[in-house]
Chains A and B, each alone.
Chain A
Amino acid sequence: MSRNNSEGMVRRLDAGDMALRTLLGLWALVIILPLIWVFYTSLKTNQEFFMGAWQLPKIPQWNNYYRAWSQLGIGKSFFNTVILLAGAMILNTFIVSLGCYTLARFDFKGRNIIYWYIIGSYFITGLNTMVTGYILMRQLGLLNSLFGLIVNYGATSIVFNTLIVTAFMKGQPRELDEAAYIDGASYWQTFWHVGLPLARPVLLTINVFNFMNYYNNFIKPLLYIRDPDKYPLSVAIYSMSQAMTYRADWVTLFAGFVIMMIPTIIVYSIFQNYITQNLNVGALKG
């Protein structure tokens, strides 16, 4: 918003403005109250949990977090998630950056056909592949393995990322590549020493996307992973919640909720501008 405009309007703060601000405040309360409730509940004892929602913890039970991490198995799932995300992000970045570099910087026969073959998936929105995707993973022997999930994640986010990365790489001058060739660099060296470093901003963007996409994904690991030892966080927390029907250790489960929110909060606070300004398209897509 222009500064000018703000100053012009500040003078006219009136009853209507008070009403609007109250409305925004109430809306903020609706958004944040359940989150705050989850947080202070995670610090209660189970006795306090049964005393009602407004009951605050007398002494914060940080021990709940330790129990969630070690006894509930959040720690193990957290580790699985780290492996899964790191693997899938590296694989996806490798595939996409290498392929898009060639699509953006080289003129060769069939280039447009290949580009539209990949982007064309966009025009088939709404085709449900939940079942056939599962059948494929089964036939490939990739079920119940983190490796299989890594490959699947890395591969299925190619389409959208190709769109962004190719557009970005096309916008960079080819003279830089040519200068490297003149200096005697091979195509591979040029990609590695010129193409990749120049693409760093866009590779960061797609990986912010990738993080949220992979971290939040629930259906795929639910279908593809059977062994609880290999669960990533999203499925682990779900299965723990179901097991709690018998164990009734609610406060520890709530501590698990908070632990699972922490990576999201961290990524959001670091890349907040990226997310709210650059990811318009992604919000449309999701």
Chain B
Amino acid sequence: MNIASKTRRFFNSRAFFIVASLAPILFFYTLFSVVPKITAFYYPFTEYDGISQPIWIGLRNFMTIAKDADLWSAMKNNLFYWAIATPINFFAALIVSFILVKKPYRENNFYRILYYFPAILPSVITALMWQFAFHGRYGIFNALLNTIGVNVGEFYWLTDAIAAKWAMIVPMVWGGWAGNMLIFMGAIQAVPESLYESAELDGATDAQKLFLITVPVIWETMKTMIFFSIIGLFGAFELILVMTNGGPAGATEVVGTYMYKIAFGAEGVAAFGYAAAIGLILFAILSCISIIAFRFMDRGEAIEMAG
């Protein structure tokens, strides 16, 4: 047998195919997904500016974190946004989905498409659009308030600390609720029609049908959604980064923007070790909450949901 046909046989062998076809996925996945997760447990214990070698400093970053009042106030803001925006996104989606699925209105199909559109819009566009919408003189927000009889004059929503903090809820809901809608609609469609029919015979109102039939039946889905909203507690911060950058005076600062500034911001000193330490603390907090949440649900459910 000559060399050419030997090589061909090698390249066409089953063993070679298996190894060669798995090599790219294993290589890219390991390098870009696994390595940053492993080093996320290393850099927090170092001082590292990205240029010189990282220096091992033990727990010093964590001692600084314990005394970092700005970080804890940023976490409080995360909690604030979670506690206000999540329930709004949840109930708006639940009620609208119920109407869209259960009522025969002609326009429902159109609404389903329209309502979901903000959810797939790039978050930077949502952020910039609302940044201008809140402009005191030229923004649509004040113009709209004016039209419905509320005159706030030239009020600049994003430059006032308290107003800015609350104003951020608007884009969070505008762009965030429809993701829930999609899930609710799927879940509500799966509720057996017979359940409603017997309720109708008993003269149940729509609200009763929603809260006494639909909600108990789709409760498992709702628990999953709550779980995911907790996991995302410190997650998305693009809207805030673009619209207020945490300002004015830290009023809208969340952990994401704070970390971003420490690691990459203009005033920052590229304190990668410290920023990574914050990341690890967040992970610890989320893990604790997840474990508690796991206790409230059965295990099988949680695994299914993770998949």
* Interface positions of A from 255 to 285, Cβ below 8 Å from B: 257, 260-261, 264-265, 268, 272, 275-276, 279-280, 283-285
- Taking a contact as CB atoms under 8 Å apart, the answer to whether A102 and B264 are in contact is no
* Interface status of A101 (Cβ within 8 A of chain B): yes
Q: In the complex, are the beta carbons of B272 and A131 less than 8 A apart?
A: yes
B21 interface hit (Cβ, 8 Å): yes
Q: Are the CB atoms of B17 and A187 closer together than 8 Å?
A: yes
A276 near B32 (CB under 8 angstroms)? Answer: no
Q: How many residues of A contact B (CB 8 A)?
A: 103
Contact B25 A28 (CB under 8 A): no
In the bound complex, do residue B115 and residue A31 qualify as a contact, i.e. CB atoms below 8 Å apart? yes
The stretch that binds B, out of A59-67, A68-76, A120-128, is A120-128
Chain B count of residues within 8 A CB distance of the other chain: 98
Within 8 A of B (CB), among A205-246: 212, 215-216, 218-219, 223, 233-235, 237-238, 241
* In the complex, A191 has a CB within 8 A of chain B: yes
A38 located at the interface, meaning its Cβ lies under 8 Å from any Cβ of chain B in the complex: yes
* Cβ contact within 8 Å between B140 and A37: yes
Complex: A6 Cα to B103 Cα, angstroms:
7
Among candidates A9, A27, A257, A275, residue contacting B96 with C-beta atoms closer than 8 Å: A27
Do A188 and B12 form a contact, CB below 8 Å, given A34-B140, A132-B40?
yes
A267 nearest CB neighbor, chain B only: B120
Q: Are A126 and B287 in contact (CB under 8 A)?
A: yes
Is A114 at the interface (CB under 8 A from chain B)?
yes
> Complex: how many Å from CA A276 to CA B120?
11
What string of 1s and 0s marks CB contacts (under 8 Å) between B289-307 and chain A?
0100000000000000011
Take A31-B117, A127-B279, A215-B122 as given contacts and tell me if A118 and B29 are in contact as well, using a CB distance cutoff of 8 Å.
yes
* Closest CB in chain A relative to B196 CB, distance in Å: 9
**Is residue A53 within 8 Å, beta carbon to beta carbon, of the partner chain?**
yes
Q: Are A132 and B116 in contact (CB under 8 A)?
A: no
Given A52-B138, A237-B128, A276-B112, does the pair A159, B107 have CB atoms closer than 8 Å?
no
A147: B residues at CB distance < 8 A: none
Task: Say whether A20 faces chain B, with CB atoms less than 8 Å apart.
Answer: yes
The residue on B at minimum CB distance from A236 is B124
Please determine whether A99 and B21 come into contact, CB atoms closer than 8 angstroms: yes
CB-contacts of B4-56 with A (<8 A): 11-12, 14, 17-18, 21-22, 24-26, 28-29, 31-37, 39-40, 43, 48, 50
Q: Is the CB of B28 within 8 A of A95?
A: yes
Nearest 8 pairs of A and B residues by beta carbon: A99-B25, A128-B279, A53-B143, A155-B32, A6-B104, A155-B28, A187-B17, A126-B286
A: which residues have CB within 8 A of B?
A: 1-2, 5-7, 9-10, 16-17, 20-21, 23-25, 27-28, 30-35, 37-38, 49-50, 52-54, 94-96, 98-103, 106, 108, 114, 118-119, 121-136, 138, 140, 151-152, 154-156, 158-159, 162-163, 186-188, 191, 212, 215-216, 218-219, 223, 233-235, 237-238, 241, 250, 254, 257, 260-261, 264-265, 268, 272, 275-276, 279-280, 283-286
Can you show 26 pairs from A to B with CB atoms below 8 A apart? A9-B103, A20-B99, A27-B92, A34-B130, A34-B133, A38-B129, A49-B138, A54-B147, A102-B17, A118-B29, A126-B282, A126-B287, A126-B290, A127-B37, A127-B279, A129-B37, A130-B259, A131-B40, A131-B275, A132-B39, A135-B48, A152-B32, A188-B11, A191-B21, A250-B132, A265-B117
